[in-house]
Amino acid sequence: MKILVCITHVPDTTSKIQFTADNTKFDSTGVQYIIGPYDDYALARAVELRDQASGKLTVMNVGEADSDPTLRKALAIGADDAIRVNAAPKDSYFVAQQIAHYAKEGAYDLILMGRESIDFNGGMVHGMVGELLGMPSFSPVMKLDVDGSTVKMAREIEGGKEMLEASLPLIAGCQEPIAEWKIPNMRGIMSARTKPLNVVEPVSQETQAEASKYELPPAKGAVKLVDKDNVAELVKLLKNEAKVL
């Protein structure tokens, strides 16, 4: 079985986010980058499936040279090789085009990725790739097992779970608890240095959207303490200031 895992190169969740050029560009100064947390779940499950089927696992990222360490970490976790499309991820459609093109060339049986990235939280790429390749796409998938050419999945829906069965090839946007995150060991880190990381050029520059401006959330206000016996004051503040009543 050939598995492709698409990963994002995103700021660490503890990073302080700032913008420059009149809030039109992200300021990456001093920012630490990681594999997207949802992509980490997809990668962890892919490693397990690859080991079970004695298959091959490729990781892919659409990004510039600064994302190479992120790909190397994915190789250390267990991927066999990596592909980097040498272009900034301009929008979801642009990214989906790149993935679809190289996924078609590679003839992968299973394409996994996170349900969404944690920078723009679009959650659209898996569906777009499915449309471009003519493959079924499912998200958010929280359980995935493969038996021959049959895939059994559990998908989160409002108020519960949906149990699904489909045939390979397919695409899944993953989330917890599909697998536990894997931490690369020393052997994995050393072997990642010699695993193939192939840099390819984008097949298209077409985009469908462009961010015109970014805004930080409003600063949190000061905390007001209310005496536990002063219920009337608490209700007044919740009604007139917090406006939750």
What's the CA gap between 75 and 40, in Å, rounded?
A: 12
Q: How crowded is residue 79: how many other Cβ atoms within 10 Å of its Cβ?
A: 28
pLDDT at residue 13 tops 80: yes
Tell me the longest C-alpha to C-alpha distance in the chain. Answer: 69
Task: Answer yes or no: is pLDDT of 221 > 80.
Answer: no
CA neighbor of 170 nearest in space, from 192, 153, 190: 153
Is residue 169 a contact partner of residue 108, using CB atoms and an 8 Å limit?
A: yes
User: What is the pLDDT, as a whole number, of residue 217?
Assistant: 83
Q: What is the pLDDT of residue 128?
A: 96
The rounded Cα 163 to chain-centroid distance in angstroms is 22
* Domain assignments of the chain as residue spans, ordered by start: 2-218
Residue 4: predicted pLDDT: 97
* Residue 139 contacts residue 169 (beta carbons within 8 Å): no
Determine the distance from the C-alpha atom of residue 81 to the mean position of all C-alpha atoms in its chain, rounded to a whole number.
18
Distance CA(216)–CA(201), nearest Å, equals 33
As a whole number, the mean pLDDT across the chain is 92
pLDDT reading at 149 higher than 80: yes
Of 69, 62, 151, 167, the closest CA to residue 113 belongs to 62
Checking if the pLDDT of 111 tops 80, the result is yes
Residue type, 226: V
pLDDT in tens, 47-64: 999 999 989 999 999 999
Q: Does residue 24 carry a pLDDT above 90?
A: no
pLDDT at res. 17: 85
Task: Name the CATH topology of 2-218.
Answer: Rossmann fold (3.40.50)
